[in-house]
Chains A and B, each alone.
Chain A
Amino acid sequence: MVIATTATTTELKGLVDDDQSSGAPPVPRSPRSALPYVLLVPSVVILALMLGYPLVRLGIMSMQEYGLPQVFGRPAPWVGLDNFQTILNDSYFWTVLWRTLIFCAVTVALTMVLGVLVALLLEALGRVMRVFVSASLIVAWAIPPLTATIVWQWMFDTQYGIVNWALGKRGESFFANQLTFFMIAALIVVWMGIPFVAFTVYAGLTQIPLELMEAARMDGANFPNRFRYIAYPAIKPILLILTSLSVLWNFRVFTQIYVLQKAGGVTRDTNLLGVYAYRISIGENDYGIGAAIAIVMVVITVLLTLTYLRAMMRVEEP
């Protein structure tokens, strides 16, 4: 996951470059050869079997009555859009959906604002301090998400958590309360998300010609104005991509919620879409409904992705 993040931006750059050069086709070695198809066979087979087929199966299941009897081999009756009707008429589903969207919006906003501030800080720091702060950020970035969540769980432990001690709240479970539960979950997500945003924005800031900043300073522009009129327009494309990516990632957050629920969170008060679909299907064997929820997740993601693709197009323009 860690490097996946770096990847996606560089990959975007790659896509843009690729499109620019798309006028020039790759070198045709042996025209009409079957070789390229042969080389693609393993990838296509794996992707079709492990991704295409599950997607189709998910779609079919979302339109079936698929419960415990079907798990044991009974045929699954076709119910059309009944499952979707059921979840869309369920007020709890809407609660979870809105909760997920709000959690996503809040964590993305915090990650972006703090990430940009850290990037500006990295730029302002001297060499030695910058290396030190970067290394610290890499550590936070590299820790596996599950391990990070468990460590934060320990820091917020009811009896002996260091944070509970610092706040004078020993004996109080922050996980049992809905608001503090989500504050901790958001804290973990943002803490893990900042390094990537900070590094990418910092990389963007270093691309701005030094003379430009220097000239603005000479002309008497203060820091907020220099940021607003010079840095911001230059890094705007990067910010758009980072925001869209963070939305995609934070919309599907699972591990943090799952672990904190086990640590004492009230499941019903703290479900987000991903965990909810998991609990309904694998937890309660109601696969039809679970699949319908998962399909809704995919649809929302596709809608968010369109925004993302549009952001990419905008990068390509200048």
Chain B
Amino acid sequence: MTSHRTHRVAINAAGVVVALIALFPVYWMVLTSFRPGQELRTPTPSFLPTSVTLDNYRRVFEREYFWTAMKNSALVTLIVVGLALVVAFLAAVALARFRFRGRASFLVLVILIQMIPAEALIISLFQILDGAQLTNRIIGLALTYLVFVLPFTIWILRGFVGGVPLELEEAARVDGASRFGAFMRITLPLVAPGLVATGIFAFILAWNEFIFALVIMNRPENQTGPVWLQAFNEGARGTDWGGVMAGSTLMAVPVIVFFLIVQHRVSAGLTAGAVKG
């Protein structure tokens, strides 16, 4: 009995240690972002919140290009999510509802594409976009992100569309609905969880992406959030950690909160989508 109890205590202690390691950097980021500058330079740092200030956030809000960067990020994210869902949904319908020559090869291609290291393509992609006058343009960046979002989105949505029994649609048509009407009223609602899951995936990719934005959006007024943040980080050179952490918090916390809320739904949606294939 005693050995069982020590066993339980040891396991719980290990759990606490894992949780602390996972959480500490995020905790430290948020804590620093609310801390006055002089307190960041004390000989002995305090692990608990002491005095709270909003100065760091004020500096971020007043810093040049912050709001344009946020606007650019929001815009590119919106375009990527919208385009990805429409384009991938059309492809998913083709793959799940029709049998045609080239279908299997397209599916294999969709898988293989995801193995190509995007980082290797930056060089030529930059030149192509530059030649087409699409660098420093939101649409150029959005098209780039679509390449990384589409294969995955097509794959998952294909599973969802395939999971809707054709008989349901046919029953609706027997009852007098048009093919389009049956599709809108029967198939679309059933596919909605898949659209939500893949939409979130596209959202997070576009909001977080750094490398391509760094190369393609190289003018300050065209930076996205992550590029702006890294420029701030480089420019501050360790002198304004309060400000840099406030910026980091603004970039990260929405995604974290969002993810904690939807995580369950997303993994359920993705599993369903994959299994229903």
Contact = CB atoms under 8 A, between A and B. Distances in A.
Q: Do A and B bind each other?
A: yes
Question: Interface residues of B: mostly helix, strand, loop or mixed?
Answer: helix
Interface in B86-112: 86-88, 90-91, 93-100, 103-104, 106-107, 111-112
Interface string A1-15: 111101110110111
Given A139-B22, A165-B45, A278-B122, 6 more contacts: A14-B156, A26-B98, A33-B98, A57-B127, A147-B248, A159-B238
Given A1-B205, A133-B19, A143-B255, A160 B124 contact: no
A252 B119 contact: yes
Nearest to B239: A159
Interface stretch (B9-17, B50-58, B184-192): B9-17
A128 B255 CA distance: 24
B171 interface: no
A61 B120 CA distance: 13
A150 B244 contact: yes
B226 interface: yes
Contacts of A154: 28-29, 32, 241, 244-245
B143 interface: yes
B147 A6 contact: no
28 contacts: A3-B200, A4-B205, A13-B271, A14-B156, A14-B273, A17-B274, A26-B96, A33-B100, A36-B95, A36-B100, A39-B93, A51-B116, A54-B121, A55-B124, A57-B128, A133-B15, A133-B22, A138-B260, A139-B23, A140-B22, A144-B207, A144-B255, A145-B210, A148-B252, A157-B238, A191-B22, A255-B211, A278-B215
B251 A147 contact: yes
A49 B118 CA distance: 14
Interface string A117-141: 0100100111001101101111111
Contacts of B168: none
A26 B95 contact: yes
Contacts of B113: 47, 51
Interface residues of B, number: 104
Interface in A33-53: 33, 35-37, 39-40, 42-43, 46-47, 49-51, 53
B62 interface: no
A282 B19 CA distance: 40
A15 B32 CA distance: 45
A81 interface: no
Contacts of A50: 125, 143-144, 146-147
Contact of B12 (A6, A129, A308): A129
Contacts of A15: 111
How big is chain A's contact interface, by range?
35 or more
Contacts of A153: 233
B150 interface: yes
Nearest to B23: A136
Contacts of B178: none
Nearest to B21: A191
B233 A150 contact: yes
Given A295-B120, A298-B116, A25 B99 contact: yes
Chief secondary structure at chain A's binding surface: helix
B15 A132 contact: yes
B269 to A, nearest CB: 10
Interface of A: 1-4, 6-8, 10-11, 13-15, 17-18, 21-22, 25-31, 33, 35-37, 39-40, 42-43, 46-47, 49-51, 53-55, 57-58, 61, 118, 121, 124-126, 129-130, 132-133, 135-148, 150-155, 157-160, 162, 165, 191, 194-195, 248, 251-252, 254-255, 258-259, 262, 274, 277-278, 281-282, 287, 290-291, 294-295, 297-298, 301-302, 305, 308
A129 B229 CA distance: 35
A301 B100 CA distance: 31
B150 A43 contact: yes
B126 A162 contact: no
A145 B230 CA distance: 12
Contacts of A290: 123
B120 A277 contact: yes
B177 interface: no
Nearest to A130: B15
Contacts of A262: 230, 233-234
Contact of A254 (B90, B112, B208, B211): B211
B270 A7 contact: yes
Contacts of A259: 230, 233
Contacts of B274: 10-11, 13-14, 17
B204 A43 contact: no
B65 interface: no
